[in-house]
Amino acid sequence: MDKYFNSYQEMLSLRGLTGHTIKSYCTYIRAYLGYLTEILHKDPMDVSWQELRGYIKWLQNTRSLSDRTINTAISQLQFFTIYILHKPWDTTQLPFRKFDTFIPFVPTMDEVWEFISTMPDLKQKTMVTIMYSSGLRIGEVCHMRYEHIKRKQMRIYIPHSKNRSDRYAILSQKALDLLTEYWYSYGRPTGWLFPKQFDPERPIDTFYLSRHIHAHEDRLGWEHRITCHSFRHAFGTHLYENGTDLLNIKELLGHKSLLSTTIYVHLASNGVGSVTSPFDQMGGSFHE
């Protein structure tokens, strides 16, 4: 099975994917090859469509995966079948699942301020502040370098973002003041701004901040509703509520498509929820 897995990794690499993305894409192919070895005792070339469907059922039952995650596994199988086995893929044999879409929780401006202003640790407070004030992804915050901070232009350079393009994010003056305080307090780092504690040549792990965000919710007595991405959603939502148009929000967030940005119309307090029904604009009243 190693030859198949190595070929899969190589083909993903040839597509120009990052190491992190390759690792993510390999998750369920590794599980699939293990399933073939330990349960089916078959070579991938000999697997039938019925057995592929059986693997998907096994995966969902044993790991309790969501429909969205199951689609990820199916997508990886499709790539593996076409590019590694060189066999055609029939979508009528293993279709993608339909899944529910949920509106994410977005803290209000007052909640964001209360959360950030009461954080006791300067490093964590600085990271969350930058994440919210510039609308950055947690990975973008963790991979910030000293030279990415453009103080004269009051912006942050974000290289190789999720949609594979560079961009600039806005830099808040208050966030810069806090970042400067952090910089002096933590040894004036000139490489990674947030390096790992015991390995300064590497950036800090994303789970570091996730763990401390939940810990701070506990301090405040809040239920666990906030994630790192909540602050990015809050940035986009609060911009829209304050009158920023969707095209500018799209550029600031680095969205590839405007469709991704339209979620903030639903999340904003002055979005679809503030529209008055035409029925309420009609004259007269009901008679009993």
Whole-angstrom distance, CA of residue 274 vs CA of residue 268: 9
Please report the pLDDT score of residue 27 as a whole number: 86
Q: Is residue 181 part of a domain?
A: yes
Please report the pLDDT score of residue 288 as a whole number: 56
Residues 79 and 208 placed together within one structural domain of the fold: no
Residues 46 and 115 placed together within one structural domain of the fold: no
Choosing from 26, 48, 83, the residue where a domain stops is 83
Residues 268 and 184 placed together within one structural domain of the fold: yes
Please report the pLDDT score of residue 260 as a whole number: 83
User: How many independent structural domains does the chain possess?
Assistant: 2
Q: Of 98-107, 143-152, 163-172, 196-205, give the lowest mean pLDDT range.
A: 98-107
Taking only the tens place, the pLDDT of each residue in 43-70 is: 999 999 999 999 999 988 888 888 888 9
Q: Is residue 134 part of a domain?
A: yes
Collapsed DSSP state (helix, strand, coil) of residue 203? strand
Choosing from 65, 83, 101, the residue where a domain stops is 83
**Residues spanned by the domain of 205:** 109-272
Residues 113 and 251 placed together within one structural domain of the fold: yes
Residues 78 and 168 placed together within one structural domain of the fold: no
The yes-or-no verdict on residue 237 having pLDDT over 80 is yes
Q: Of 12-16, 84-88, 155-159, 173-177, give the lowest mean pLDDT range.
A: 12-16
The yes-or-no verdict on residue 145 having pLDDT over 80 is yes
* Token pair in block for residue 84: 């590694």
Give strand ranges (E) for the chain: 149-150, 155-158, 167-170
CATH number, domain of 43, equals 1.10.150.130
Residues 245 and 181 placed together within one structural domain of the fold: yes
Of residues 98, 1, 37, 58, the one with CA closest to residue 50: 58
Of residues 234, 242, 244, the one with CA closest to residue 267: 234
Q: Of 81-90, 139-148, 163-172, 222-231, give the lowest mean pLDDT range.
A: 163-172
Residues 69 and 171 placed together within one structural domain of the fold: no
Mean pLDDT of 92-121: 88
Mean pLDDT of 79-90: 93
Residues 28 and 166 placed together within one structural domain of the fold: no
Please report the pLDDT score of residue 17 as a whole number: 73
Please report the pLDDT score of residue 56 as a whole number: 92
* Token pair in block for residue 11: 């083909």
Choosing from 20, 49, 83, the residue where a domain stops is 83
- For residue 243, what is the DSSP state? T
CB 270 within 8 A of CB 278: no
Residues 8 and 118 placed together within one structural domain of the fold: no
The yes-or-no verdict on residue 245 having pLDDT over 60 is yes
